[in-house]
Amino acid sequence: MKSLVVANWKMNPQTFREAKQLFEATRRAAESVRSVSLVVAPPALYLRELKRAYKGRKISLAAQNAHAAGSGAYTGELSLTQVQDAGASYVLIGHAERRAAGEGNDDVRKKVAAALSTRLAPILCVGEATRSPRGEHFLYVAEQLQAGFADVLPGKANRVIVAYEPVWAIGTQKSMTPADMHEMAIFIRKTVQGKGHNGLAIKILYGGSIDERNAHDMIERGDVNGLLVGRASTEAKKFADLLEALHES
């Protein structure tokens, strides 16, 4: 089965010219890796032009965020229909950086349901800020999952992709161990199952200081279906090396 890799460019690069160059380098790297399905999440401003220029099928596009409402007085926001019209097939929801800026579980709940109704695949991001020896972080993740799946209709849960991103690992040099990720993956599936959905059908991604050095082990031993890659996805050589590492898995 192919691994799903989501490249979250965040607020990079600074010009569309650079975005085209990065996308082309990403495309070249992806074309030679048959074992990976790739989703690129650029700044929304670049979505339409990247989609227009790309004629292949190897890469899909994602929005990094969107509003749950279909339209209205929401200055500065983008609707899910708008990002879909611009060429996105996926949308990131509840990323740790969005949550840090004030997005709550109720916002996430609305966005997941709205994305499904718009026929966009929601990538629901969950993860704790700190780990506790007593396991409080599991309760925190459970709350995020329960909110995210609260309005998901029966039979639709398998369209939701869960990206687990431990906040303590984002942007650092320390990644979660595959063994710990395996434990968390089991917990995620059980929690989703507890909401009345088929937890075994859920695709789970890992995100958090992932690069070419640890990507292979995380896929092989972490019980995940793919990766959510941040910083490394904006460095063409590092990202190509990461994809190659997965190709060798």
Catalytic residues: 95, 165
Cβ neighbours of residue 249 closer than 8 Å, sequence gap 6 or more? 3, 35, 216, 219, 220
Measured between alpha carbons, how far is 118 from 106 in angstroms, rounded to an integer?
18
Measured between alpha carbons, how far is 119 from 80 in angstroms, rounded to an integer?
9
Give, in order, the Cα–Cα distances in Å from 67 to each of 47, 75, 196, 202, 210.
Answer: 16, 11, 26, 24, 28
At 93, phi and psi to the nearest 5? -135, 130
Q: What is the dihedral of CA 191, 100, 119, 76, to 10 degrees?
A: 160
At 220, phi and psi to the nearest 5? -70, -40
